[in-house]
């Protein structure tokens, strides 16, 4: 990985879950890392995520909604990761305007700044598996139809299309990576609206009940954060990924009930409690999400390495040390 030594890396949303784990990896690889993050309390960022490497990075407390600030940040970078987003599904239904502004207008700002001021940069745009909506055929792949069920997922669809348009029309070296339910260290584990699996982990760590709706038999793909980071990094150094979209997902699928029960087993506390579906959750439930990772495996030397149980064991060890920093 000497390829990245001395490279100038910009990570928008770099104080959040995926972004901060990218930051740590690039510092390890000898890159010069800049974070652009506004630390909006509804977005899940946490300064503690980079506390141990604070002297090795630069943080620009800027908002991706501000074109001038974004333009200043992109000008001298070799690689940019767009991890900035409002990721709450339920929150997007309550405030669709701000979700659109951050996820769509913010992406346009980034793309237009790149086009004007640094058109040779490599851009990796982070998407989500929920862009698909309900599964029409199995397995889901990159050509599956997209009918998202909430505004956040819809805005991620739109922002992805912006990236692909800029890539094809202006020759920007851009790639879209759709991640599934990531878990691991540095996630926000205190809010149910950001990621169900990390919230489950937080509840178990506190010895609380994990509520599973219905029988919890709907299948999900769940990916340890180190595997997600490795996919993003490999995509950033390949020209074969330009103007393409990939699912970076695990080889395995588990039911929500299996995920909850395994979390309780590995964490060693908490309890799974099965309850009736709330009315406000039924309309956005997508059912099974069986996703293929064959495309990314065919282009990059990447395959998921960390199993659910191994990943949960490492996650437990991290939060045992720093739990209070993630429950504030």
Q: Where are the beta strands (DSSP E) in 119-167?
A: 122-128
98: domain CATH number is 3.40.50.720
193 pLDDT band, cuts 50/70/90, is confident
- 42-86 pLDDT, tens digit each: 788 999 999 999 999 999 999 999 999 999 999 999 999 999 998
Confidence of residue 176 (pLDDT cuts 50, 70, 90): very high
Say how far apart CA 115 and CA 108 lie, in whole Å: 10
pLDDT digits (tens, 9 = 90+) for 120-160: 999 999 999 999 999 999 999 999 999 999 999 999 999 99
30, two tokens: 């000898």
CA distance 29 to 59: 18
Whole-number Cα distances in Å, 256 to 8, 25, 136, 206, 213: 39, 30, 20, 20, 9
Residue-wise pLDDT tens digits, 238-281: 999 999 999 999 999 999 999 999 999 999 999 999 999 988 78
**Mean of pLDDT values over 10-24:** 98
The pLDDT of residue 149 is 94
- Region 192-200 average pLDDT: 92
Nearest alpha-carbon partner for 101 in 172, 151, 61: 151
pLDDT at 1 over 70: no
| pLDDT over 70, % of the chain | 100
CA atoms within 13 A on the CB side of 173: 16
Phi, psi (deg, nearest 5) at residue 323: -55, -45
The whole-number pLDDT of residue 211 equals 97
Tell me the pairing of strands 173-179 and 244-248. parallel
Nearest to 189 by CA among 273, 308, 53, 312: 312
Closest CA to 95 of 151, 159, 154: 151
Residue 96, number of CB atoms within 10 A of its CB: 15
Confidence at residue 87, expressed as pLDDT on a 0 to 100 scale = 85
User: Which residue, chain included where needed, has tokens 């299309």?
Assistant: 161
pLDDT for residue 270? 97
Output the pTM of the full model. Answer: 0.96
pLDDT-derived band at 182 (thresholds 50, 70, 90) equals very high
The answer, yes or no, to whether residue 164 has pLDDT greater than 90, is: yes
Predicted local confidence at residue 281, as pLDDT: 81
Which residue, chain included where needed, has tokens 């599973």?
212
Average pLDDT, the chain: 96
Looking at the structure of the chain, the number of domains it has is 1
Among residues 202, 158, 175, 154, the alpha carbon closest in space to that of 17 is found at 202
Residue 45 domain boundaries: 2-326
- Pairing relation of β-strands 244-248 and 209-213? unpaired
């Amino acid at each position: 990985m000497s390829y990245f030594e001395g490279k100038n890396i910009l990570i928008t949303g770099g104080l959040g879950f995926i972004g901060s784990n990218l930051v740590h990896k690039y510092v390890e690889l000898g890159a010069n890392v800049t974070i652009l993050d506004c630390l909006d309390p509804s977005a899940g960022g946490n300064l503690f995520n980079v506390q141990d490497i604070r002297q090795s990075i630069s943080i620009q407390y800027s908002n991706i909604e501000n074109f001038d600030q974004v333009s200043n940040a992109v000008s001298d970078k070799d690689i940019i990761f767009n991890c900035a987003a409002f990721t709450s599904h339920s929150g997007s239904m309550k405030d669709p305007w701000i979700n659109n502004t951050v996820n769509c207008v913010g992406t346009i700002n980034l793309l237009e700044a790149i086009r004007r001021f640094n058109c040779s940069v490599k851009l990796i745009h982070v998407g989500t598996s929920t862009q698909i909506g309900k599964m029409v055929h199995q397995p889901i792949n990159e050509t599956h139809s997209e009918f998202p069920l909430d505004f956040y997922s819809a805005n991620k669809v739109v922002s992805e299309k912006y990236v692909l348009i800029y890539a094809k029309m202006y020759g920007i070296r851009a790639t879209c990576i759709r991640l599934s339910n990531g878990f691991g260290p540095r996630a926000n584990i205190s809010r149910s609206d950001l990621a169900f699996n990390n919230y489950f982990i937080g509840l178990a760590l506190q010895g609380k009940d994990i509520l599973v709706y219905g029988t919890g038999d709907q299948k999900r793909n769940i990916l340890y954060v180190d595997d997600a980071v490795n996919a993003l990094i490999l995509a950033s150094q390949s020209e074969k990924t330009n103007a393409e979209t990939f699912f970076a997902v695990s080889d395995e699928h588990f039911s929500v009930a299996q995920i909850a029960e395994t979390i309780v087993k590995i964490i060693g506390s908490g309890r799974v409690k099965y309850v009736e579906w709330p009315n406000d959750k039924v309309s956005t439930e997508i059912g099974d999400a069986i996703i293929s990772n064959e495309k990314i495996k065919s282009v990059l030397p990447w395959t998921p390495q960390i199993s659910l149980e191994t990943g949960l064991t490492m996650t437990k060890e991290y939060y045992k040390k720093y739990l209070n920093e993630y429950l504030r």
